[in-house]
Amino acid sequence: MGDFNLSVILDAIRRSPDGVSRVELAGIVGLAAQTVSNICRRLLDQSLIVEAGKYGSGPGKPRTILRLNPAGMYAIGVHLDPAETNFALLDLTGSVVISRKLPTRADADPQETLDGIAEEINSMIAERSIHRSKIAGLGVATPGPIDPVAGAVVEPPHMQRWGKVALRDQLQKAVDLPVLLDKDVTAAAVAEIWAGGASGAGSFIFVYMGTGIGSGLVLDDEVVRGSSGNAGEVGHIIADPDGPGCDCGQRGCVKVTCMPENIVAEARTAGVKAVLAASPDSLQEQVAALAEAAESGDEQAINVLDRAAERFAVAVSAQTNLLDVDHVVFGGPFWKHFEAAFLAKLPARLTARSATAKVHGIEVMSTGVGSDVGAVGAACLVLEDSFGPHAASLVLASEE
């Protein structure tokens, strides 16, 4: 029980960015003052928290303020996406210390890709001269589906040479750190809870706009993973009944109507000049061109984004109604190009389709984390696992 109490106290300190005293902590977590005091001593000895001044006037002793020690522990995250691989090194407070990205060669041999990831991670650790005992672990976020028991990614879309790759064990060997694997949309949702601020509280759907589209589900501050860690596969929700055929036999699935490549293809067919002029090899460039054209008043571009917003409204409302969430958070590497159009159109369209419109509204917002939310989320998986209030086993417990 000692370790459970320790993680609960650490979590209460984390949630008090201005610092908190031992007396206040005892009130927050409902433990005896002596227990709190003993645990704080252990956390101070392990450099996970620091004493940061005193406050108080009037009768009684001034109270010592406790805060997380940012340098007390670190976590590393990597997000493997078919387009690019993002890396993030986070300190204990969840702040990004180092952020890097490399292009992913989708046609490369998996082993070659894993070697490149390990090399980059080792170089990040060396850059800050961080002792390995101060790194709680490595989190890896990948497109689904995943096999959480095998620690493997299973035939990820857009990566031709990847079958079932046990990347958790392989990376563990290569970087000599504990490794956690999760789906990228789940990692993004965890990042939003851990580091997103107001948008990461309560019940929400995180719509991740990467090379593919997926949803991270959060109910009552808890991320929902499902029976095999693969919750949130929205690819075969029908977004447009009159849309093109899908490999599942239906028409107009998210997978064939809502992906950035589908929207760009529609813009090309509609003759949006800026998109036709952009490099056909760069999805980012084409989507950026579409957004810029819409912003500068190109009628066709505006219509393409409007129709895309309509399809997202259909697909997202199926999820908001099913789960009774009160907000939807958008993020991922392509989100910034859709942000203006979608924030303008989606709230009213989701409300119009909401089964609970007379009970509560549905807010639509951008991630509070940033475009590398997948990598930050991967690192947050480690922080959550090691220091979250539900931490099953504390990494630091083994030091005792």
Q: How far is CA 380 from CA 136, 189, 352, 388, in A?
A: 11, 10, 35, 10
314 binds Zn ion (CB under 5 A): no
CA distance 362 to 104: 36
Considering the complex, what minimum distance in angstroms separates the CB of residue 354 from Zn ion? 24
248 binds Zn ion (CB under 5 A): yes
245 binds Zn ion (CB under 5 A): no
171 burial class (0-12, 13-18, 19+ CB within 10 angstroms)? buried
Considering the complex, what minimum distance in angstroms separates the CB of residue 314 from Zn ion? 14
- For 67, the 3-state DSSP assignment is strand
* Binds Zn ion (CB under 5 A): choice among 105, 236, 268, 307: 236
Q: Segment near Zn ion (CB under 5 A), from 222-230, 250-258, 349-357, 366-374?
A: 250-258
| Site size toward Zn ion, by CB under 5 A | 5
- Nearer residue to Zn ion within complex by CB, 254 or 362: 254
Which of 15, 43, 38, 29 has the alpha carbon at shortest distance from 394?
43
Q: Which two tokens stand for residue 161?
A: 């040479």
Considering the complex, what minimum distance in angstroms separates the CB of residue 172 from Zn ion? 35
* Binds Zn ion (CB under 5 A): choice among 23, 96, 154, 246: 246
CB 352 within 8 A of CB 340: no
* Binds Zn ion (CB under 5 A): choice among 89, 253, 316, 376: 253
CA distance 372 to 362: 25
Considering the complex, what minimum distance in angstroms separates the CB of residue 257 from Zn ion? 10
Q: Which two tokens stand for residue 94?
A: 């969840």
Considering the complex, what minimum distance in angstroms separates the CB of residue 246 from Zn ion? 3
CB 211 within 8 A of CB 259: yes
Interface residue list for Zn ion (CB under 5 A):
236, 246, 248, 250, 253
